[in-house]
Amino acid sequence: MAYDAATRTVVLLDAGQTWTWGGSAWTGRSPATSPPALFNAAMAYDAATRTVVLFGGFGGLGDRGPLNDTWTWNGTTWTQQSPWPPLP
């Protein structure tokens, strides 16, 4: 979960579903693309790009090892990025 200063909402990714909190209610979002269901990922707002950045975590129910995924949320949709360096 992270605060998105550009949209003034809190962004939550839960079991692969995106939710935003605008101050009075949670709203389920239906972006064209989304990160997979994961846990123990990190999420923070990047003021330079005005996006929320999601990195890492573990996929599914732990059946996949650590992920090297990086995703950005622009207030409408998630975009998968290409981090460097890749994990071994």
Tokens, residue 18: 């995106």
The pTM of this model reads: 0.85
Domains in the chain, number:
1
Residue type, 35: P
Query: Which pLDDT does position 63 carry in this prediction?
Result: 62
Tokens (6 digits) for 62: 């732990």
Average pLDDT, the chain: 88
Residue range 44-48: mean pLDDT, rounded: 96
Please check whether residue 86 lies inside any domain of the structure.
no
Domain that holds residue 35: 2-81
In a domain, 42, yes or no: yes
Q: Residue 62 has what DSSP assignment?
A: T
By the 10 Å C-beta count (0-12 exposed, 13-18 middle, 19+ buried), 1 is classed as exposed
